[in-house]
Chain A
Amino acid sequence: MGTETLPSRIARVDAYGLSHTGKVRTVNEDHFAIMTLQKAVQLRATNLEDSALLDRLRKPHVDIFVVADGVGGGVGGKIASGVAVKSVVEYLAEAVGCVQDFDVDRETAFLEHLSQAVERGHHRLKEMFQTQGGPATTLTMVTLVWPRAYVIHLGDSRGYYMRRGSLRQFTRDQTMGDYLVDIGAVTEQHAEKAGLYNVLSSAVGGDFVPNVGVVDLADGDALLLCTDGLTKHVTDERIAEILGSRPAEAAVHALVDAALEDGGTDNVTVVVAKAE
């Protein structure tokens, strides 16, 4: 009897993440999560001829990566980033049916769910700390429905992808320095001197202005999410060299080690995913 094996539409994603307190700070205010949402029947072999049935069984495979870097002093930052990441995980676990119903034609609704997942963390923080200027957190989240990466981003953590050796940052830092330089209110030198690049213009728990975007990936691409504890110590060239030469777990360890070797002045969190 012959069998028919279903073709796979899913790229295997090799993903790994690590968070380190660094060499100066005593508290790690960063958090991260790597999730896979699956609710599918895996029909491994069949001689059924009902291709419509087979199509209905092919649910999308969704990988989600999140990094968050809390700010607020004391343990507030740690609480903020933890609440934000936990809220995303909880929301998406509850909304898994919506995610699994996703198709490209309904991606607006899909993006709305992702935004709501992040917004839940924002509202929770606002409820927990009802004073103005309470703890807040950056948050960079990529939801990968191969080959499309949906990006939701607040603050100055970063997302990059690397293709054929070329590293590209797909997030833009949301700091007061970037904002004021953009509109021509101050020079880069002034912003640097005044410490404006250290002040977030948008954050979960703060002024909530998420950037939303899309990047279509290709086989062989590498995805990197990180907090600024990496990028303040490791150049783009070095990041590209490490990402291009190692599998995800080894790349993550090498990137964190590179940040620590350069001083490790901040918490450092790195998530790498490679499509194979």
Chain B
Amino acid sequence: MIQKKVCMVGVFATGKTSLVQRFIHSLFSTKYHSTVGVKIDRKQVQVGTEQVNLLLWDIEGRTPEQEIPESYLKGAHAVLYVADGTRRETVDQLFSLRGHVHSAAGDVPSIVALNKHDLKDQWIVTPADTAKLITGGFHALTTSAKSGEGVEDAFRWLATATLTAPPTPTVQPPVRHGN
């Protein structure tokens, strides 16, 4: 079976672990636990005729000033950047984070999950922010680990992208925002 290492990166408390929980166990935890080191989970995904075993490396969140250890990123086949759509700084740091990830893992397929979209009254991501991400070369979509919105799509997109040249996202870039 094909195995692919997917690294999940982002500032602390953006919901990386919750996205994995939703994807693998269809659960959402109301209690926050910070990850220490890396938590590794796996899930099989069918992509066309191929079974892909995704190894999800949920890497401890950092402050924007802290760098992820390169040793955790080495050998990644894809990267899921996770930002919290209710916290401006977690979106702003995506570009610098990408530079660091590229130097450690190379130019592997990646997608941005603008997470916590269920918190619509606190949502701060504007169409201009989204456009900036897309013109900057990111694929992006809105997700909610709580409702499940976009979660399956994000991981399936990555699984597909590890097997082929990065396709056009099967999900549309975010166009919805809070009030």
With the chains together, A216 CA to B39 CA distance in Å? 12
Interface residue count on the A side (C-beta < 8 Å): 23
Q: Is B36 an interface position by the 8 A CB rule?
A: yes
B28's nearest neighbour on chain A, judged by CB, is A183
Is B41 a contact of A182 with CB atoms below 8 Å?
Answer: no
B71's nearest neighbour on chain A, judged by CB, is A216
**Beyond A214-B37, A214-B72: 8 further Cβ-contacts under 8 Å?**
A107-B75, A108-B55, A111-B40, A170-B36, A170-B37, A212-B39, A213-B40, A215-B36
With the chains together, A211 CA to B35 CA distance in Å? 12
- Residue of A149, A172, A216 touching B33 (CB-CB under 8 A): A172
Q: Which residues of B contact A (CB under 8 A)?
A: 3, 5, 27-31, 33, 36-41, 55, 57, 69, 71-72, 74-75
Write out the residue numbers on chain A whose beta carbons fall within 8 Å of the beta carbon of B5: 108
With the chains together, A169 CA to B55 CA distance in Å? 23
Write out the residue numbers on chain B whose beta carbons fall within 8 Å of the beta carbon of A148: 71
- Residue of B55, B72, B75 touching A216 (CB-CB under 8 A): B72
Top 4 closest A-B pairs, CB basis?
A215-B37, A184-B30, A182-B29, A170-B36
Q: Which residues of A contact B (CB under 8 A)?
A: 104-105, 107-108, 111, 147-149, 151, 168-170, 172, 181-184, 211-216
Is A216 a contact of B36 with CB atoms below 8 Å?
Answer: no
Write out the residue numbers on chain B whose beta carbons fall within 8 Å of the beta carbon of A212: 39-41
Is A216 a contact of B37 with CB atoms below 8 Å?
Answer: yes
* Chain B min CB distance to A273 (Å): 16
18 contacts across the A-B interface (CB closer than 8 A): A104-B75, A107-B75, A111-B40, A168-B36, A170-B36, A181-B31, A183-B29, A184-B29, A212-B39, A212-B41, A213-B39, A214-B37, A215-B37, A215-B38, A216-B37, A216-B69, A216-B71, A216-B72
